[in-house]
Homo-oligomer: A and B are copies of this chain.
C-alpha cells in the first residue's frame, strides 16, 4: 500500500514546484506551431528531389568552376537563375576579385630506381616548372617536423617527398592534422634549398586519384613547384625509397597565375516577419576545384542551403527572422568572396544573428554542435530534441564553423552546426572524382531534413541570439 502512495506524493510535489517556478521561467524557446512546422519540414525534406536536382544541374550545366574561370562566371549566372526560379527574394550578387590560377599540364615520373609515371595534380597556386621540367634526386620525409629535423643541406637542390598519410575520421579532424604539409610544405622545403615538392595527397582513398588543394607560399622563401600524387602511388614511391637505392624524380607543371579576375557571391532570401531585420545566414560556396565537377565540394552544400530556404519558403507560416542564403565566391583560393561579403555588409554585421555553413559533402548529418553564447544552450537542447527522429549525437559548444563564415564568426555571430558525416569525404574531395555519382540521394535528404529543422527553429527562436565572445579557429 505504501508503494502506491509514492506516485501521488511525487505528483503533488511536482505540481507545487511547477507553480512556484513558473513566474521565473523564461518563455519556451519554441511554440507549438514552430515545432509542428519543423516536423513538416522534416517530412518534406525526406521526400525532396529539388536539392539533388540542383547538384545535377550545377554539375551538368556548369561543371568545374574554379575561381576566375569561365565556369566560375557560369556558376554565378546559374545561381542567379536558380534562386529566381525558386522564388527567393532580394536575389543579388556581391562582387569580389578572385585569384586566377590556371593548372595547365602536370607530369610526375620516377626515373630511378624503377622508372614509372604516375598521375599527378599541381597544388593550387603552385608555380610551374618551366616547360622542360625539373629532374633531380629526391628526399623522403614524413612531415614538416621530419623535414625540420634533417641535417643542413640535406634537401639542397632536391625534390622533397612528404609521405605522411592522413587518418580517416567522421568529423574531419584527420584533415586538419595532415593538411599543414600541403599548405606550408612547399615554402618550408624551399627555405632549406629544395627545388620542388611532391606530397602524398591529403586523402583517405585507396583509389588512384591525386588530390589538389591550395598551397600558401611564404613571402620569405623562393616559390617552388609542388605536386600531389595519390595514396597508391605514394605507397609505391615509399617502396622505391625503401629499396635503399637513390630515387630520382622528374616533375613538370605548366601551371601559372593570370591577373586576378572579377567574380561574385550570390545572395537570395526568404524574408522574415517580425524580426526580419535579423539575418540567419546559410553559407555554402559556389566555386569548385577544376579536376572534378564539384558535386560534394560544394555542390552538396549549395543544394542543401538552397533546398532549406526553398522548403522554409514553402511553409504556410513565414519565418520570424530573414533566411539569407549566400553562395560564396572563391572559398578554395583564400575566401575572398567571404571577405568581400563581410566588407560589403560592414554596417550590418551585428544583424547576422545566427550562421550555418554546409561545406562538407552530402551527409548524412550525424551530430548537432554549436558555438553559441552559453545562455542559449537550453534552446540548442530543444532543437536537438526536435531532431530526435534523425537520430543525431549531441555535440559540444566548440563548433569551429566553416571557412566562409569565419569573418562573421570572429565578430561574435553564433553558429549552429549540423555535422555532416565526413568519413568518406576525403576519398573524393579535391579530386577528378568529385562527381554526381558520389552524392547519395538518401543521405542528402537526411541532411536537408536536419538543416531545415535546425535553421527553421533558429529563425523562430523566442529569445535573442546573444553574441559569442570566444574565438575558435575555423576548421577549413
- The 8 Å CB contact of A293, one of B70, B116, B293, B437, is B116
A58 to B434, CA, bound (A): 31
* Nearest-neighbor residue (CB-CB) of A240 within chain B: B60
Q: In the complex the two chains form, is A114's CB within 8 Å of B61's CB?
A: yes
A438 within 8 A of B: yes
Q: In the complex the two chains form, is B114's CB within 8 Å of A437's CB?
A: no
A232 to B59, CA, bound (A): 11
Q: Considering the complex, which residues of chain A in the window 189-242 have a beta carbon less than 8 Å from any beta carbon of chain B?
A: 206-209, 231-233, 235-236, 239-240
Counting chain B CB atoms within 10 Å of each CB, which of A61, A119, A209, A292 scores highest? A61
Q: Contacts A60-B236, A60-B240, A239-B56; is A208 near B116 (CB within 8 Å)? A: no
Q: Considering the complex, which residues of chain A in the window 387-422 have a beta carbon less than 8 Å from any beta carbon of chain B?
A: none
Find chain B residues with CB under 8 A from A433 CB: 207-208, 232
A233 to B436, CA, bound (A): 9
* Nearest-neighbor residue (CB-CB) of A432 within chain B: B208
Q: In the complex the two chains form, is A114's CB within 8 Å of B60's CB?
A: yes
A370 within 8 A of B: no
Find chain B residues with CB under 8 A from A114 CB: 60-63
A231 to B62, CA, bound (A): 19
Find chain B residues with CB under 8 A from A240 CB: 60
A255 within 8 A of B: no
A454 within 8 A of B: no
B-contact 0/1 string along A438-458, CB 8 Å cutoff: 100000000000000000000
Q: How far is the CB of A138 from chain B (nearest CB, A)?
A: 16
B-contact 0/1 string along A103-115, CB 8 Å cutoff: 0000000000011
Find chain B residues with CB under 8 A from A70 CB: 115
Find chain B residues with CB under 8 A from A292 CB: 208
A119 to B431, CA, bound (A): 12
Q: In the complex the two chains form, is B438's CB within 8 Å of A206's CB?
A: yes
Q: Contacts A119-B432, A437-B231; is A236 near B206 (CB within 8 Å)? A: no
A96 within 8 A of B: no
Q: In the complex the two chains form, is A239's CB within 8 Å of B116's CB?
A: no
* Nearest-neighbor residue (CB-CB) of A114 within chain B: B61
A435 within 8 A of B: yes
* Nearest-neighbor residue (CB-CB) of A61 within chain B: B114
A28 to B232, CA, bound (A): 49
Counting chain B CB atoms within 10 Å of each CB, which of A56, A70, A115, A207 scores highest? A207
Q: Contacts A116-B293, A207-B207, A208-B292; is A436 near B60 (CB within 8 Å)? A: no
Q: In the complex the two chains form, is A232's CB within 8 Å of B436's CB?
A: yes
Q: List 5 A-B contacts (CB under 8 A).
A: A59-B236, A63-B114, A206-B438, A208-B432, A232-B433
